[in-house]
Amino acid sequence: MASIKSDKTLPAGWVRYSYGALSVGAPRGWRIYSYVPLCPPPHGTNDVVIEFTETTPEAASCAYSPGPSRVIALGCLIGPAMGEFGSPSQTTRVQGRLLHRSDTEITYQGSGWKAVSLLLPGFSPTGLGEEIMSTVKPTGRSCR
């Protein structure tokens, strides 16, 4: 289960949600769900952090209908599942670790695993998504 901790570097009313090798800041009170990757809570469910670990690449087994949402996913891809998400081409160093990032996805790769933080399609409002993604940082743990 993802951990939730206070973090004075985040905006007032926010906390840090950590799962595997990455953490992200978001407003306090967001719920944590364990789900199959890309299978969000029912349409219209907002203010959610999804946690997942995947070891084999699989097609999503749910009917996903994108729409306005406020859903973040924190995940660990292990072994063959590492190829499921690409690595965005833009890079940045955070706490001495190389992160690959785009506007909606951040990855961090270790030995035999890849950590992923992403905004699910339809995340709204855009400004909140940008602010959330700017808080992603390594936890110091691996995905194994």
Is residue 134 a contact partner of residue 106, using CB atoms and an 8 Å limit?
A: no
- The CA-to-CA distance between both ends of the chain, in Å, stands at 14
pLDDT of 82 reads 87
pLDDT of 108 reads 95
pLDDT of 46 reads 86
Q: What pTM was estimated for this model as a whole?
A: 0.89
Tell me how far apart the alpha carbons of residues 54 and 38 are, in angstroms, rounded to a whole number: 11
pLDDT of 40 reads 59
pLDDT of 56 reads 83
Domains and CATH numbers, the chain: 3-138 (3.40.1000)
pLDDT of 35 reads 74
Among 16, 23, 21, which Cα is nearest to 114's? 21
pLDDT of 18 reads 97
pLDDT of 62 reads 64
pLDDT tens, position by position, for the chain (144 residues)?
A: 789 999 999 999 999 999 999 999 999 999 998 876 556 566 667 898 989 998 887 665 665 555 677 889 999 999 988 887 777 889 999 999 999 999 899 999 999 999 999 998 788 899 999 999 999 999 999 998
pLDDT of 61 reads 62
Q: Which two tokens stand for residue 34?
A: 């364990």
